[in-house]
Structure 1
Amino acid sequence: MRRELLHELMTVSEEESKYRAGQNLIEKQLYSGESIDEIDREKLLKRGRLITVRPHSRFVDFPEHRHNYVEIMYVVQGSITHVIEGKELVMQSGDVLMLNQYVAHSIKRAEYNDIGINFIALPEFFEIPLSMLNGKNVLAEFIIGALRQKNPVSHYMLFRLDNNLQIDNLMENMIESMFHEKNGSSGYDIMNQYSMGLVFLYLLNHLEDLSHNSSMDYKETIVQAVLEYIDSDCRNANLTKIAEDTHQSVTVLSKLIKQRTGSNFQELLQQKRFSMAVKLLLDTDLSVEDIALDVGYENQSYFFRQFKSRYGMTPRKYRIEHGNVK
């Protein structure tokens, strides 16, 4: 991050000076009209604006609270610790935490070098980012949950990004523009909507870095869909097709499969094909050649080599030793 901007972000505010001097209670009037239990967007957002940024206040514990807006925290340096649903989430430099409306969470005391930036946004800010996502995916579901006027979905996601350069640059640009915007510059919201849309597109290519997701384990759901797809059509299954069906890139999907199962797509597919081949050998009168075709191998010699490598014998001998000779 540019040195001058980082210096601004690290400057101790008047509010922080009180906490640093020993005040243990949050300055409630800065965040809410009544109780700190629910932080009010009208205290933080200028009238007519869709988004703003605010450095996280250091030197004090924030008690459990909710927001009537969407919050995205980006850690510039150091660490910030959130507690959500009893789970302690320690954010490091470069991490992104997305909190939908009404997610209950608390934040542990941050020190001088712990710099977190809160993007405070109305749900309608995300209409343009949603249009850029083009399809059903975990980020689109997050935005749709935020846009629900009745019963918005309480939902959070934490991406552990280890200082992704593209995302860091986009975040810095948005922080810079909102910190130094000129009064009456209505174009800032639109520029930041497109910038946030680009952040979301980059995040879609880093779903393997999605560490926590409260509404559902999205990675597990994706991998389960892959396994069901292989089970249902092992003869024709291919990674490109399932990537298109699940709205993932082939690279990201490959990483998710390996991360969750310990095997790559081709290994899982072969396991299923040979499992099916064994079943057909034992339960049917089909020739070995027909079985190879049925499970997806047109190259007969390759099928024979792989079968012998896995089971230590030819398909015909396996049939004789483990089943009834037909």
Structure 2
Amino acid sequence: MKELLKQLHAVTALEDLQKKTGKNINTMNLNYNSSIVPEIPKVDFFKYGNISLNKHSRFSYTPAHTHSFIEINYVLNGSCTQRLNGEKFQLEKEQLVILDQKVIQQIDYVDSEDIIINILLENESIQNRILPNLSPSSNLITDFFFQAANGQHEHGNYIILDTAGNPLANKMIESLLLAAFNRRNSEKELLINLLYCALMVEISHLPVISTNKKITTNDPLIQILKYINDNYTDVSLKSLGQTFGYNKNYLSNLLKDKTGSSFQELIDQKRLSEAKRLMSETDESLSTIAMKIGYKSVPSIFKLFQKETGQTPNFFRHNKTE
């Protein structure tokens, strides 16, 4: 960990430029002419996986902006002052904030000893990777991710948590950093996903410093989504309804209303996520992968990729490994 801290304290070219000019360098070409609070695009954050980690650039402030993804800011060293939806918060070492998309965020000047880690989560992976691993009972973290995954829900929630009294949570974050900064691309995606899911379970027990999030009741939807996640290769809407005691038409409307996706769309999202994972982590043939995700023939997986990504599976696999 000492070597990693030394690595993170090293001044990058961008930080050096910001330090010399005293200005925030707009490296993502955010269009402040069209909006005073522009949205940060995904750009290349998720080129190698659904979770991305990077160090927040120092020696500058960060103007007001929003996100098109979930973001966690973790204070590894020092402190930082953030404004979330206009309200000012001081974050100290071993504290973190979880931000839903659409939160208006602004960060004051970050100095040399302030090491802030940004952990970014692609929205499409929440239902397939995060929710199935969280507690089936309602708690603040489960509820946050459930609503974040719902495209029809109003976004803008944040939660500030304190990890100082939880050595396990801090160790998980350290392990995430080591995996992200010191592992080869071919190895780190699976490890990062496992560590991230474990961290989300652990932080549900952390003290809450502040939040604008109100708990809502999502049961039994969490259990239903978990069941779909675990049985997506052969579950049908009828069998799902029988398992949970619902009429299939009622269940279909419930899923669409609460998640913003139909039953078939949830199945397709899961199949696509698993297909991408298998193509990234294995050398298995497309026919083998197609069978593993519940298809009987290869053309089905081509149709899925074309429909959801506009690409072929072969194009995805080739560009993923470049």
Look up the equivalent residue of 2:150 and give its one-letter code: R
* Contact 1:129/1:197 (<8 A) preserved: yes
Look up the equivalent residue of 1:27 and give its one-letter code: I
1:16 paired to 2:15: yes
The Cα of 1:140 is off from its aligned counterpart by 1.2
Cα gap change, 1:150 to 1:42, in 2 (>3 Å): farther
The Cα of 1:129 is off from its aligned counterpart by 2.6
The Cα of 1:205 is off from its aligned counterpart by 2.1
SS in 2 for 1:141: helix
TM-score by length of 1: 0.60
* Contact 2:15/2:59 (<8 A) preserved: yes
Task: Name the CA distance, whole Å, in 1 between partners of 2:140 and 2:193.
Answer: 18
Task: Name the CA distance, whole Å, in 2 between partners of 1:196 and 1:170.
Answer: 8
The Cα of 1:189 is off from its aligned counterpart by 2.9
The Cα of 1:65 is off from its aligned counterpart by 0.5
Task: Name the CA distance, whole Å, in 1 between partners of 2:210 and 2:197.
Answer: 21
Aligned residues between the structures:
211
1:81 paired to 2:81: yes
| Counterpart residue number, 2:139 | 137
Q: For 1:159-238, what aligned pairs fall within 5 Å after superposition?
A: 159-162=161-164, 164-183=166-185, 185=186, 188-206=188-206, 209-216=207-214
Task: Name the CA distance, whole Å, in 2 between partners of 1:76 and 1:146.
Answer: 25
1:31 paired to 2:28: yes
| Counterpart residue number, 1:317 | none
Q: For 1:268-287, what aligned pairs fall within 5 Å after superposition?
A: none
Q: Render the CA deviation track for 1:102-140: whole Å, top value 9, x for unaligned.
A: 110100001100101001120233332311213222111
Q: Render the CA deviation track for 1:141-174: whole Å, top value 9, x for unaligned.
A: 1111221234552211000222521111100111
* Contact 1:174/1:195 (<8 A) preserved: yes
| Counterpart residue number, 2:230 | none
The Cα of 1:33 is off from its aligned counterpart by 5.2
SS in 2 for 1:27: coil
Task: Name the CA distance, whole Å, in 2 between partners of 1:176 and 1:20.
Answer: 27
* Contact 1:80/1:114 (<8 A) preserved: yes
* Contact 1:100/1:155 (<8 A) preserved: yes
Task: Name the CA distance, whole Å, in 2 between partners of 1:195 and 1:21.
Answer: 37
The answer to which structure, 1 or 2, has the higher relative contact order (CA under 8 A, 6+ apart) is 2
Task: Name the CA distance, whole Å, in 2 between partners of 1:145 and 1:10.
Answer: 36
* Contact 2:18/2:25 (<8 A) preserved: no
Runs of 4+ displaced beyond 4 Å: none
**Among candidates 157, 160, 167, match of residue 159 of structure 2:** 157
Task: Name the CA distance, whole Å, in 2 between partners of 1:192 and 1:125.
Answer: 13
Q: Render the CA deviation track for 1:184-224: whole Å, top value 9, x for unaligned.
A: x1x53332222122212222222xx11111132x5xx99xx
Identity of aligned residues (%): 22
SS in 2 for 1:57: coil
Greater Rg over alpha carbons, structure: 1
* Contact 1:129/1:194 (<8 A) preserved: no
The Cα of 1:44 is off from its aligned counterpart by 3.0
* Contact 1:75/1:117 (<8 A) preserved: yes
Task: Name the CA distance, whole Å, in 2 between partners of 1:188 and 1:22.
Answer: 36
Look up the equivalent residue of 1:201 and give its one-letter code: V
TM-score by length of 2: 0.61
CA RMSD in angstroms comes to 2.1
Task: Name the CA distance, whole Å, in 1 between partners of 2:194 and 2:9.
Answer: 27
Task: Name the CA distance, whole Å, in 1 between partners of 2:58 and 2:178.
Answer: 20
Task: Name the CA distance, whole Å, in 2 between partners of 1:88 and 1:43.
Answer: 30
Task: Name the CA distance, whole Å, in 2 between partners of 1:210 and 1:104.
Answer: 20
Gaps spanning 5+ residues in structure 1: where? 223-326
The Cα of 1:178 is off from its aligned counterpart by 1.1
Look up the equivalent residue of 1:119 and give its one-letter code: I
Task: Name the CA distance, whole Å, in 2 between partners of 1:199 and 1:172.
Answer: 11
Gaps spanning 5+ residues in structure 2: where? 218-322
The Cα of 1:95 is off from its aligned counterpart by 0.7
| Counterpart residue number, 1:65 | 65
